[in-house]
Amino acid sequence: MVVVMAAEASEADVQAVVTLVETAGGEAFVSRGVNRTIVGLVGDVEQFGALNLRGMAGVRDVVRISVPYKLVSRENHPDRSVVRVGGVPIGPETMTLIAGPCAVETPEQTLEAAQMAQAAGATLLRGGAFKPRTSPYAFQGLGEKGLRILADVRSETGMPIVTEVVDAHDVELVSSYADMLQVGTRNMQNFALLQAVGGAGKPVMLKRGFNATIEEWLMAAEYIAQRGNLDIVLCERGIRTFEKATRNTLDISAVPVAQGLSHLPVIIDPSHSGGHRELVLPLTRAAIAVGADGVIIDVHPHPEQALCDGPQALVNGDLRELAKTVRELPPLVNRTLTRA
Ligand code: PEP
Ligand code: MN
């Protein structure tokens, strides 16, 4: 952290800053330039934040140099992490395909979608039992009944389950079934939920808020990490822009940016970003090319009957191409498709 003194600051103003920082247990290094003096601080940045340095006489600005998210930052952990979900790795050497229905609707639909996903190369099954819907009149998910269906399909297929939790009170229940807890875009800054999943002892997939900056996303991850859980996978799922041709604008550059700032794996959701079936394969290719550690894709055996997000679900006819894409492209960027 650096304190920039005003040009008219007196020597006593500079000394007051130094004394305050030293009293708080930090070190202060004074550099006197031609026009102004700056004071470099070494020590606990959070503690310096509480000193109200900005309000002191002669202080022009206080500039933070290190990142505010410590535990998830690459600054503190240079090697990129691998997160394991029921034994399936998500990390820098692999490309993991997560696929399944947007929502669990029936046992038959869920099993069929899981088999479609597996045939395309997916090693993890997605499916929502608790759905965070924009409209209160829309299908809200089957709740615990849906979780039981997911557990049955896991037994049948061997695929570990990724499923969303929307309320801090449900974390224990959802954790008793899930292999990975998903926190959705609408809940990225639900801090009580983030803390609860941080304490649940299960890997977490944290979707980026559709109106969140990358820094806010990483701060949300820090809430989870701060509770002792570093098994976090970041998911870019598109952000809101002026563009209406897609459901959301896939921020493809968020992948290398987040990977540069954080050691956590970063995956892409081409289904919720594109919002149209035709866009899912092109965006999946882009995800692999840009270096995403995985993709999460909606599939449905009968999208015309889907209770949620039918227009973006891949159908049987799309799977051959998806399977080819996830098998052939990763080796071009030094990765292999994760195998079960
Ligand atoms: C989902 O994956 O089912 C979902 C609701 O996604 P998002 O939170 O990104 O909208
Ligand atoms: Mn959905």
- Per-residue pLDDT reduced to its tens digit, 161-217: 999 999 999 999 999 999 999 999 999 999 999 999 999 999 999 999 999 999 999
In the reported structure, the alpha carbon of residue 24 is separated from the centroid of ligand 1 by a whole-number distance in angstroms of 44
**Please, which residues have CB within 8 angstroms of residue 202's CB and are 6 or more apart in sequence?**
175, 178, 179, 180, 181, 229, 231
The H-or-E segment that residue 281 falls in is helix 277-290
Alpha-carbon distance values, 158 to 125, 229, 319 (Å): 9, 25, 20
Per-residue pLDDT band at 44 (split at 50, 70, 90)? confident
User: Which one-letter amino acid corresponds to residue 100?
Assistant: G
What is the per-residue pLDDT for 340?
Answer: 82
In the reported structure, the alpha carbon of residue 308 is separated from the centroid of ligand 2 by a whole-number distance in angstroms of 6
Average pLDDT over residues 242-254: 98
What is the per-residue pLDDT for 24?
Answer: 92
What is the largest distance, in Å, between two alpha-carbon atoms of the chain? Answer: 76
Torsion from C-alpha of 204, 284, 134, 129, nearest 10 degrees:
-50
The predicted model scores a pTM of 0.90
**Please, which residues have CB within 8 angstroms of residue 19's CB and are 6 or more apart in sequence?**
none
Query: Is residue 43 within 8 Å of 21, Cβ to Cβ?
Result: yes
Instruction: State if residue 184 touches ligand 1 by the CB under 6 angstroms criterion.
Output: yes
Q: In whole angstroms, what is the distance from residue 235 CA to residue 188 CA? A: 11
Average pLDDT over residues 239-263: 98
What is the per-residue pLDDT for 56?
Answer: 96
Looking at the chain, the domain(s) classified CATH 3.30.70.1140 span: 2-63
What is the per-residue pLDDT for 47?
Answer: 87
Q: Is residue 31 pLDDT above 90, yes or no? A: no
In the reported structure, the alpha carbon of residue 310 is separated from the centroid of ligand 2 by a whole-number distance in angstroms of 9
* CATH, range 83-337: 3.20.20.70
Determine how β-strand 2-5 pairs with β-strand 37-42.
antiparallel
Per-residue pLDDT band at 99 (split at 50, 70, 90)? very high
Per-residue pLDDT band at 36 (split at 50, 70, 90)? confident
Mean model confidence pLDDT for the chain: 96
Q: Where are the beta strands (DSSP E) in 107-248?
A: 124-126, 161-164, 180-183, 204-207, 232-236
Instruction: State if residue 207 touches ligand 1 by the CB under 6 angstroms criterion.
Output: yes
In the reported structure, the alpha carbon of residue 26 is separated from the centroid of ligand 2 by a whole-number distance in angstroms of 48
Q: Is residue 65 pLDDT above 90, yes or no? A: no
Atom of ligand 1 nearest to the CA of 132: 5
* CATH, range 2-63: 3.30.70.1140
Looking at the chain, the domain(s) classified CATH 3.20.20.70 span: 83-337
What is the per-residue pLDDT for 49?
Answer: 87
**If you take atom 4 of ligand 1, which residue's CA is the nearest one?**
184
Atom of ligand 1 nearest to the CA of 271: 2
In the reported structure, the alpha carbon of residue 103 is separated from the centroid of ligand 1 by a whole-number distance in angstroms of 10
Give 119-148 pLDDT, tens digit per residue. Answer: 999 999 999 999 999 999 999 999 999 999
What is the per-residue pLDDT for 34?
Answer: 78
Q: In whole angstroms, what is the distance from residue 114 CA to residue 121 CA? A: 11
Which residues is 125 bridged to in the sheet?
99, 161
Q: How many CA atoms lie within 13 A of 271 on its CB side?
A: 23
What is the per-residue pLDDT for 46?
Answer: 83
**If you take atom 8 of ligand 1, which residue's CA is the nearest one?**
184
Give 277-332 pLDDT, tens digit per residue. Answer: 999 999 999 999 999 999 999 999 999 999 999 999 999 999 999 999 999 999 99
Average pLDDT over residues 265-275: 98
Query: Is residue 297 within 8 Å of 96, Cβ to Cβ?
Result: no
Mutational pocket test of ligand 1: of 98, 140, 205, 207, the residue with most ligand atoms within 8 Å of the beta carbon:
207
What is the per-residue pLDDT for 72?
Answer: 97
